[in-house]
Chain A
Amino acid sequence: MKAFAKRPADISAKAIEDYGRLVLKVAYRIIPNADQAQEIFQETFLRFHASCTRGEVIAYPKAWLCRVATNVAFNARRQQRSMVGIEADTAVETNADKDAERQLLMDRVRDLAADLPERQRIVFALRNFEGWTFAEIAARLGCSEGAARSSEYKALKKMRAWMGTD
């Protein structure tokens, strides 16, 4: 990618400019807390920058950043859930369109997704939180469309089973 053949600092600055909004959305959807989403944002781009300084060429920054942000956010969710629970922003909790019970169910879906194996949770999140098509997911994750579908199918099956045990 010619656009990214620059100094690491310039590459990172451009990536933050171009994909910052997307990364923040990915983070915030998994952990709806402004402080923590900001930390995930920073962590994602620090990793991106570290890769650039090591001389790695990231051919598809959008896919790379989404995948890393998804992983970092789900990891943080698991880690904090086991310790103190996730504290959602008050603004989200009191959204008139979504009552408290709905919020709890959404949190449950986030938690269930966090417990999935890596490939399944990324496919599930990109497909269902971010609205990517299976074709996009397959192209960006380097797998076949069938494999992406299969990952989502397995993810949904597990999540339904886990949901049923609550």
Chain B
Amino acid sequence: MDRIEFERRLSDYVRGELPDAVARQIDDYLADHPEAVGDIEAVRTMLELSADIGATEPPSRLLAAARSSTLKAIRSKYERPRQSGLWLALLRPAWMTAFAIALAAVFLGVLWRGASTPAWAHVVEEVRKLSSVHTVGWFRGENGDRVPVKHWFQAPHFFRAEIDTGPSRQVVLSDDTSVYMNIEGVWYLKNLPWPGAWSVDKVGKNLVLPGPEQLEALSYQIDREDRGKTVLFSIWQRSSLGRKTPSDIRFEIEVDAQTRLPNHSRVYLDTGQQEWDLVNELNYRDYDVPLADALFKVADDGVQTAPKSVVKADPLGRALAPFGPLRNRVFFMPLEGMEIVVHPPSNDPTKGRQGMSSRVSGGVVSYEFYRTPLTEIAQTLGDRPVETPDSAFSDQRFSVRIVHRINMDPVQRVKRLGQRFDFVAELKKRQGTRTRWIFTQDGTDFPVSAVRDESTETNGYNLRGTGTPLFNVIRTMLSNAAGRKLVSGYNELLDDVEMKWEGPEASNPFHRRVDVSVDFSDGWEVALKYLRDNFGVTMERISEPTTYEVLVLSPRKEGD
């Protein structure tokens, strides 16, 4: 028996399912190759663990709940309200026919309305058919005031928004390739960073809840209230951490029962005090009314390329926020630059492991921390190492949602955190070593991805992706390799990762989108070889002494 045959028979041998003659051959192989005994043990362990998994039984009551909720979901998703049962029941006894007919006349209006009551899917379907729509409303401004906003959508892909009035007024226009933004009277241009423009159809798509094709980490609860001529849908979306924390957003939309089109929408945010803050209202008007072309054109010739400050503030994202509450989540400008909502549980270890997620949208960064040490929260917000000479911080964990403006100073963020959690943050300098991780591309050509939508998966030891910018590939591989201890000396907070390219920016190879598939579980050298062989990228490291900043946290005392 050779090695390959031995490996093929391993699991059957461990399970005792081999014929005696073959089992003896394995025994002989093991006698000749004692180093293979380890393989037997490894497979045995794996199969025993798998058998334990196979013995895991779901809680006894779960089946009934799962059956009932699934049947309900199928009914609400695929079946319209059925009234025929009532009719048949009334008509079945012959002596009641006359009574039934009379009753039918009385109830006719009610039954007809019931049969036409739209499900959420119908609303989405109708919105997607529109050729144009105009909305007028407001959203909560940074100072808690109501900022007026108007939107116009015109099929196939024209969008206009007017935000605020007077000197603060902003106008955003977009078509299938570009975004024009008027800020303080100046028009700026930016190419759309993603394929597909904003359109009425996309508004509809953003209202679609996860269907059978996809299972999202986020989950929703949808309530429907029939109010005669209108139907009110309330959709509760769970936080980014799924069931770990309560719903943090509620979207209400009032729909005309006959046209199945929205009349009015509202967005509420959780305040953490079992209350909801109304942060946006829109009235929907002028369905399918032709809109003037001039609405979607820039009259001014002096259009400038949008500077980073404008791109970062993302006026388009801000303008579109009310239309993406169920897909992209809405992040309204936090009051006074930053808001902190604390949710229980915090220190209770039975409530599961810690977790964190973050998102950026409309010039706002939003974090969800679950049972996370306070020091880690501070380090994330402060973007620099944190020191805690006082042991009081060591066992403090919190579940907290933090939203801040993208351009808020990191030290200020930590100071605001300190106001909420009673600590003082002080900026200090330290001496240390900083490493420059320098990646260079040798000028050789390499295939560019045909895909524009980035999609990347990793388990920490591998990276598979399509349409991923090369610099993202490199950064992710380095970060993962450091996290899995395949490469030493990488300090994400101190070190610099440099993509060295001296040619014109337009042909920068590190910005090209590539398809990637690499497993570097055998070591960082494998990753480097992959980058060299496929993209002509090499790496060098330069370490040098440096002075860096840390945030020192200490409990707040009286007078601080």
Contact = CB atoms under 8 A, between A and B. Distances in A.
Interface of A: 8-9, 12-13, 16-17, 20-21, 24-25, 27-29, 32, 34-43, 45-47, 49-50, 53, 72, 75-76, 78-80, 82-85, 87-92, 98, 102, 105-106, 109-111, 115, 124, 128-131, 149-150, 152-153, 156-157, 159-165
Given A28-B56, A46-B73, A98-B52, A83 B66 contact: no
B441 to A, nearest CB: 28
A38 B62 contact: yes
A152 B462 CA distance: 21
Nearest to A105: B49
A9 B39 CA distance: 50
List the 7 closest A-B pairs by CB distance, nearest first. A84-B355, A128-B50, A87-B352, A28-B58, A41-B66, A46-B212, A129-B54
Nearest to B49: A109
B215 interface: yes
- The residue among A50, A156, A159, A161 with the most chain B CB atoms within 10 A of its own CB is A156
A47 B74 CA distance: 10
A128 B51 contact: yes
B46 A156 contact: yes
A163 B461 CA distance: 12
Interface stretch (B111-119, B241-249, B387-395): B241-249
B376 to A, nearest CB: 14
Contacts of B8: 149-150, 153
Given A16-B71, A84-B355, A128-B51, A159 B46 contact: yes
B77 A46 contact: yes
Contacts of A153: 7-8, 10-11
Contacts of B58: 24-25, 27-28, 34, 37
Contacts of B67: 16-17, 20
Q: Interface residues of A: mostly helix, strand, loop or mixed?
A: helix
A109 B53 CA distance: 9
A11 B7 CA distance: 44
A45 B57 contact: no
B83 interface: no
A84 B357 contact: yes
7 contacts: A9-B75, A16-B70, A25-B58, A28-B62, A34-B58, A53-B78, A128-B54
Given A76-B215, A160-B46, A161-B521, 6 more contacts: A32-B56, A38-B62, A45-B70, A130-B54, A150-B8, A160-B39
Contact of A72 (B62, B215, B522): B215
Contacts of A92: 56
Contacts of B56: 28-29, 32, 92
Interface in B209-228: 211-213, 215, 217, 219
A82 B459 CA distance: 8
B242 A84 contact: yes
Contacts, number: 159
A124 B49 CA distance: 13
A47 B211 CA distance: 9
B100 interface: no
Contacts of B59: 34, 89, 91
A42 B215 CA distance: 10
Given A16-B71, A92-B56, A109-B50, A87 B353 contact: yes
B66 A38 contact: yes
A51 B520 CA distance: 39
Contacts of B355: 83-85
A45 B74 CA distance: 8
Contacts of A12: 71, 74
A162 B461 contact: yes
A9 B78 contact: yes
Contacts of B52: 98, 102, 106
B521 A162 contact: yes
Q: Give the residue among B50, B350, B462 with the most A Cβ atoms within 10 A.
A: B50
A160 B42 contact: yes
A165 B521 CA distance: 7
Interface in B37-93: 39, 42-43, 45-47, 49-54, 56-59, 62-63, 65-67, 69-71, 73-75, 77-79
Nearest to B62: A34
A129 B50 CA distance: 6
A84 B42 contact: no
Contacts of B70: 16, 20, 41-42, 45-46
Contacts of A83: 217, 240, 355, 357
A53 B211 CA distance: 14
Contacts of B463: none
B7 A157 contact: yes
A109 B51 CA distance: 11
Nearest to B522: A165
B419 interface: no
Contact of A38 (B10, B50, B69): B69
Contacts of A163: 42, 46
Contacts of A124: 50
B217 A79 contact: yes
A86 to B, nearest CB: 8
B455 interface: no
